[in-house]
Amino acid sequence: MTEESEVSETNETAGAAGTAGTPGAAGASAAGGTAETDDFLARAHALLADHPVVDGHNDLPWALREQVRYDLDRRDIAADQSDDLHTDLPRLRAGGVGAQFWSVYVRSDLPGGHAVSATLEQIDCVRQLADRYPQDLRLAFTADDMEQARAEGRIASLMGAEGGHSIDDSLATLRALYALGVRYLTLTHNDNVAWADSATDEPRADGLTRFGEEVVREMNRIGMLVDLSHVAPATMRDALRVSEAPVLFSHSSARAVCDHPRNIPDDVLESLAANGGTAMATFVPKFILPEAVAWTLAADENMRAHGLHHLDTTAEGKRVQRAYEAAHPRPMATAATVADHLDHMREVAGVDHIGIGGDFDGTAFTPAGLEDVSGYPNLIAELLRRRWSTADLSKLTWRNAVRTLRAAEDVARDLQSRRGPSNATIEELDGAAPQD
């Protein structure tokens, strides 16, 4: 919290600048390639050399699983993979990435209940990437490891699990994921779990159940960050009430800027200062650009009008979707759209509580200027244009995320001296699990 004083001053100037320049104009200038833009871009690169990006969410492991079933020879990320992936090592370097939370996401609807073993396979994939590219990647399990990797010029590789289905309602399985290196767990993905509500499902538990609260407490005790992206606002509020450690939003933006359920309401953003956590703004256009939200709703409606599920990817589904896109061009988000969210989040949550979580390789569409992992300098240039100070940007890119992980470690050390592992079961705390 010592960082607060130097922040408030920069906040005022930058806040004024943010309201003065309209997002549209800024986006146009970013695309224009003027001498002024080049100057901002050069400054962005210089800044990232000193304060690289900690990105909260990248789905490369899932993309490798889906595309080539982890055949890493067929997607050698030491070489350019821009035909198939948002992510490869040269572009991570060009993007100024210093630490990456690799998502070990698995679908919540894997047939036959194989989420836990699929999660272990995802973890195995990240470890193999680190083994395979030791010059560029270094596994990191602590904030110290992140600093060390940065000092060595390697990209700190952390792991985050996405969705409570990865622990199969078992706190011991949660501890096993920690032991294998996972450092955050997103409480839900797009669907509810038995103990927590998702933002994109029907409310059932009204936030966290008692077992859900126990999951949060156990995560605090072992030092795993509680990730509140994807969860319902009621779950966010419950988790913030229960959590003894700072929380994370690994890839979520501001609901006040774009009203989509995946984004964070202002009251939750406001409570981050007291909690000490970090909200990492995401780049997914259909969450962050109001026009894209409306367009997606209309496109989904069109699919349903043709008698198809809105996520249908059969040939027929793709044909209908392409026809709709031809008639109604998809609205484009830009780096300025993301900057709008960050301006607002800095205003509401405070500069000590914001970060970046691109969701690359986890989304089909990306904003102009942020097409892949080499795009971060364009975002930083946009923020420099909006008069963000170097101090603020260094917090956004690196310092907040490292501080949050370190604080979770401190809380864990403290809690471990006071309580042992929890062996509570969902049956004990919630009665019979509602659905399983």
Partner 1 sequence: MADTAPVLQGSPRAFTPAPAPEPAPDPAPAAGPDPVTKNDAAPKNDSAARTGPATRTGPETRAGSAPPTGPMARTASEPRTGSETASVPAPAADPASVTRARQLLAVRPVADGHNGLPWTLRLRSGHDLTPGHYYDLDLADATLHTSFPALRAGGVGAQFWSVHVPPGAVGDRAVSATLDQIDFVHTLVRSYPESLRLALTADAIGDARNRGRIASLLGAASGHAIDSSLGTLRGLHGLGVRTMALTHDRNTPWADSALDEPRAGGLTLFGEEVIREMNRLGMLIDLSMSSIDVMRHTLALSKAPVLFSHSAAAALTGRPGDVPDDILERLPVNGGLCMVTFEPARMARGTGPATLADVADHLDHVREVAGASHVGLSGCYDGGPETEPATATDGTYEPLPRPRGLEDASRYPYLIAELLDRGWSETDIAKLTWENTLRVLRGAEFTARAGGPRRAPSMATIARLDGARR
- Please state the φ and ψ torsions of residue 172, each to the nearest 5 degrees: -70, -35
Q: Which is nearer to partner 1, 191 or 300 (CB)?
A: 191
Looking at 91-99, 124-132, 239-247, 265-273, which segment touches partner 1 (CB under 8 A)? 124-132
CA-based nearest residue to 184, from 105, 237, 244 = 105
CA-based nearest residue to 57, from 367, 363, 427, 387 = 363
Looking at 195-203, 286-294, 329-337, 414-422, which segment touches partner 1 (CB under 8 A)? 414-422
Q: Smallest distance from the beta carbon of 302 to partner 1, in angstroms? A: 34
Containing 35, the helix (H) or strand (E) segment is helix 35-50
Among 40, 62, 141, 287, binds partner 1 (CB under 8 A): 141
For the window 51-90, what string marks contact with partner 1 as x by the rule CB under 8 A? Answer: ------------------xxxx------------------
Contact yes or no for 195/209 (Cβ under 8 A): yes
Q: Which is nearer to partner 1, 245 or 293 (CB)?
A: 245
Q: Smallest distance from the beta carbon of 151 to partner 1, in angstroms? A: 16
**Site for partner 1, residues 294 to 333, rule: CB under 8 A:** none
Q: Give the SS3 label for residue 223.
A: coil
Looking at 270-278, 286-294, 351-359, 407-415, which segment touches partner 1 (CB under 8 A)? 407-415
Interface with partner 1 includes 9 (CB under 8 A)?
A: no
Q: Which is nearer to partner 1, 166 or 252 (CB)?
A: 166
Q: What is the dihedral of CA 85, 89, 93, 98, to 10 degrees?
A: 100
Interface with partner 1 includes 125 (CB under 8 A)?
A: yes
Q: How many angstroms separate the CA atoms of 193 and 48, rounded? A: 38
Among 116, 146, 196, 393, binds partner 1 (CB under 8 A): 116
Interface with partner 1 includes 416 (CB under 8 A)?
A: yes
> What single string gives the DSSP state of each residue in 374-392?
T-HHHHHHHHHHTT--HHH
CA-based nearest residue to 230, from 167, 140, 160, 302 = 160
List the helix and strand counts (H, then E) for the chain.
19, 9
Going by DSSP bridges, is the β-strand pair 53-58/278-281 parallel, antiparallel, or unpaired? unpaired
Q: Which residues are CB-contacts of 430 (< 8 A; sequence separation ≥ 6)?
A: 194, 195, 209, 210, 211
Going by DSSP bridges, is the β-strand pair 182-186/97-103 parallel, antiparallel, or unpaired? unpaired
**Site for partner 1, residues 205 to 224, rule: CB under 8 A:** 222-223
- Residue 232 is encoded by which pair of tokens? 């319902």
Q: Which is nearer to partner 1, 177 or 348 (CB)?
A: 177
Looking at 9-17, 130-138, 300-308, 377-385, which segment touches partner 1 (CB under 8 A)? 130-138
The residues that are catalytic are: 57, 59, 162, 189, 230, 251, 359
Interface with partner 1 includes 115 (CB under 8 A)?
A: yes
Q: How many angstroms separate the CA atoms of 149 and 382, rounded? A: 27
Among 112, 327, 364, 418, binds partner 1 (CB under 8 A): 112
- Residue 410 is encoded by which pair of tokens? 């401190």
Q: How many residues does the chain have?
A: 436
Interface with partner 1 includes 120 (CB under 8 A)?
A: yes
Looking at 15-23, 111-119, 277-285, 388-396, which segment touches partner 1 (CB under 8 A)? 111-119
Interface with partner 1 includes 130 (CB under 8 A)?
A: yes
Interface with partner 1 includes 191 (CB under 8 A)?
A: no
What is the total count of residues that contact partner 1 (CB under 8 A)? 47
Q: How many angstroms separate the CA atoms of 286 and 433, rounded? A: 33
Among 167, 288, 333, 336, binds partner 1 (CB under 8 A): 167
Contact footprint for partner 1 (CB under 8 A)? 69-72, 111-118, 120-125, 127-128, 130-131, 138-139, 141-142, 167-168, 170, 172-173, 175-176, 178-181, 222-223, 409, 412-413, 416, 420-421, 423, 425
